[in-house]
């Protein structure tokens, strides 16, 4: 079968993967209301395309934290990629690099920061979970910086793991042949089995629930890398993040895997963008599956988006070639959306190119008296 869009990889991954692995990748928290909403909300935004504009040349390049990339579509951190494919994070790193875009490596990768760096050139960010043992955190951040990672994506929505019922039913744990590679030498690389989710138990044991804004400042004392705060969905937290020295915000609900019944990220985006007032860039992840979704996020003020599940599903289906294909399909769709909307550069994408359900009705002429 010819794969013609990103979503089709999910069904292929479901066929190929053991149930425990597929469920871990696919599931969301509790009722999975937010999981569906992350997708559905995009359909509440329609286009107001402009016509008769020369769109023979389209430039999708952009600069993120000073790094030039080929398109505003980047790779979100997703854990345990070798569970999807033997080449795991290596394949993702190569595919992102070939596409000229940024890969974010998860703290819980099944390949270490050094191993991923050794795959070749590429702009990479490191996603950080803060462990109770701060020496572990400091060591890991230094290793990432030394390995050439360019920024920290600090995940702030996971003081405890969300309740993912599929993982509880499956008693999810990392297959015995895999380890959390970044923590291997620190005796924290294995995940024990538990009566419920092995991952939830691991998080309860290791991840620091006391994490607070003062730690964002502490992080800045141990690294020169800029910090993106991943998991902000309100104006209030946006303002505090900027005060705390964040250099970017990722509007994210963790792919709907943490608190259920938070809004879709595309619904929360504009609030955050307004609060940021252009002081720092705002990014979005969650439910992006089409080039039209990318355009909508940019029209609402995002500087770029990240994709999570499409990477693991395509990795499971076709390894590096699958991830390359996902990035290429999204790129092509986004380019087409720009052309059909009358935009030739990212700067030309404006709020007026879309209309949302929450916009006030446009002024219409009243009835003639």
Neighbours of 30 (CB within 10 A): 18
Nearer to ligand FNR, 232 or 312 (CB): 312
252 contacts ligand FNR (rule: CB under 6 A): yes
Instruction: Give the residue, chosen from 13, 21, 74, 79, that forms a contact with ligand FNR under the rule CB under 6 A.
Output: 79
Q: Which residue's Cβ has the minimum distance to ligand FNR?
A: 308
Residue 94 assigned as binding residue: no
Q: Is residue 254 annotated as a catalytic residue, yes or no?
A: yes
CA distance 351 to 161: 35
- At residue 308's C-alpha, the angle toward residues 167 and 90, to 5°, is 100
Residue 314 assigned as binding residue: no
Residue 285 assigned as binding residue: yes
Instruction: Give the residue, chosen from 77, 88, 162, 319, that forms a contact with ligand FNR under the rule CB under 6 A.
Output: 77
Taking CB under 6 A as the binding criterion, the range among 48-56, 160-168, 280-288, 315-323 that sits at the site for ligand FNR is: 280-288
Instruction: Give the residue, chosen from 45, 76, 161, 246, that forms a contact with ligand FNR under the rule CB under 6 A.
Output: 76
Taking CB under 6 A as the binding criterion, the range among 73-81, 117-125, 219-227, 270-278 that sits at the site for ligand FNR is: 73-81
191 token code pair: 């995940």
In the complex, the smallest distance separating the C-beta of residue 38 from ligand FNR, rounded to whole angstroms, is: 6
Residue 289 assigned as binding residue: yes
User: Residue 68: exposed, middle, or buried by beta-carbon count in 10 A (0-12, 13-18, 19+)?
Assistant: exposed
CA distance 136 to 139: 5
76 token code pair: 């979100």
Chain-centroid distance of CA 158 in Å reads 14
Nearer to ligand FNR, 41 or 244 (CB): 41
- At residue 181's C-alpha, the angle toward residues 177 and 185, to 5°, is 105
Residue 99 assigned as binding residue: no
327 contacts ligand FNR (rule: CB under 6 A): no
286 contacts ligand FNR (rule: CB under 6 A): yes
Residue 127 assigned as binding residue: yes
Instruction: Give the residue, chosen from 285, 293, 318, 320, that forms a contact with ligand FNR under the rule CB under 6 A.
Output: 285
45-47 and 62-64 beta bridge pairing: unpaired
254 contacts ligand FNR (rule: CB under 6 A): yes
Instruction: Give the residue, chosen from 9, 42, 108, 313, that forms a contact with ligand FNR under the rule CB under 6 A.
Output: 108
354-356 and 304-307 beta bridge pairing: unpaired
User: Residue 6: exposed, middle, or buried by beta-carbon count in 10 A (0-12, 13-18, 19+)?
Assistant: buried
CA distance 130 to 329: 34
For 64, list phi and psi in degrees, rounded to 5. Answer: -115, 120
Residues between 4 and 33 that touch ligand FNR (CB under 6 A):
25
Identified catalytic residue from 85, 181, 254, 290 = 254
In the complex, the smallest distance separating the C-beta of residue 75 from ligand FNR, rounded to whole angstroms, is: 9
113 contacts ligand FNR (rule: CB under 6 A): no
For 278, list phi and psi in degrees, rounded to 5. Answer: 75, 5
Nearest to 150 by CA among 66, 264, 253: 66
162 contacts ligand FNR (rule: CB under 6 A): no
126 contacts ligand FNR (rule: CB under 6 A): no
Alpha helices in the chain (DSSP H): 8-16, 19-26, 33-40, 88-98, 113-117, 134-146, 165-170, 198-206, 213-222, 235-243, 265-276, 291-299, 309-341
User: Active-site residue numbers?
Assistant: 254
Binding residue positions for FMN: 77-79, 106, 127, 155, 230, 252, 285-289, 308-309
- Binding interface with ligand FNR (CB under 6 A): 25, 38, 76-79, 106, 108, 127, 155, 230, 252, 254-255, 257, 285-288, 307-309, 312
Q: Give the residue numbers of the binding site.
A: 24, 77-79, 106, 127, 129, 155, 164, 230, 252, 254, 257, 285-289, 308-309
């Amino acid at each position: 079968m010819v794969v013609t869009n990103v979503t089709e990889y999910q069904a292929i991954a479901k066929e190929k993967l053991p149930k425990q692995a597929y469920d871990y990748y696919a599931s969301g928290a509790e009722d999975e209301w937010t999981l569906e909403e992350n997708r559905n909300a995009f359909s509440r935004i329609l286009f107001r395309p402009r016509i008769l504009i020369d769109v023979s040349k389209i430039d999708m390049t952009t600069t993120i934290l000073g790094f030039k990339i080929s398109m505003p579509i980047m790779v979100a951190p997703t854990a345990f990629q070798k569970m999807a494919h033997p080449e795991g994070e290596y394949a993702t790193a190569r595919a992102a690099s070939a596409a000229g875009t940024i890969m974010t490596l998860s703290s819980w990768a099944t390949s270490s920061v050094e191993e991923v760096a050794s795959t070749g050139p590429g702009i990479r960010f490191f996603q950080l979970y803060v462990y109770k043992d701060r020496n572990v955190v400091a060591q890991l951040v230094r290793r990432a910086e030394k390995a050439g990672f360019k920024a920290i994506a600090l995940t702030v929505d996971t003081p405890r793991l969300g309740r993912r019922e599929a993982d509880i039913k499956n008693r999810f744990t990392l297959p015995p042949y895999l380890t959390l590679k970044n923590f291997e030498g620190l005796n924290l690389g294995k995940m024990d089995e538990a009566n419920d989710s092995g991952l939830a138990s691991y998080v309860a044991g290791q991840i620091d629930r006391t994490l607070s804004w003062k730690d964002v400042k502490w992080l800045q004392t141990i690294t020169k890398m800029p910090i993106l705060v991943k998991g902000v969905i309100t104006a209030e937290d946006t303002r505090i993040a900027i005060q705390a020295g964040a250099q970017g915000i990722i509007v994210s609900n963790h792919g709907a895997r943490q608190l259920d019944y938070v809004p879709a990220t595309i619904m929360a985006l504009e609030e955050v963008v307004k609060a940021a007032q252009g002081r720092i860039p705002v990014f979005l992840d969650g439910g992006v599956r089409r080039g039209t979704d990318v355009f909508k996020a940019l029209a609402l003020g995002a500087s770029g988006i990240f994709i999570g599940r499409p990477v693991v599903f395509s990795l499971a289906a076709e390894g590096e070639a699958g991830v390359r294909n996902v990035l290429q399909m999204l790129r092509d769709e986004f380019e087409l959306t720009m052309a059909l909307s009358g935009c030739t550069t990212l700067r030309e994408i404006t709020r007026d190119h879309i209309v949302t359900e929450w916009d006030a009705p446009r002024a219409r002429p009243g009835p003639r008296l």
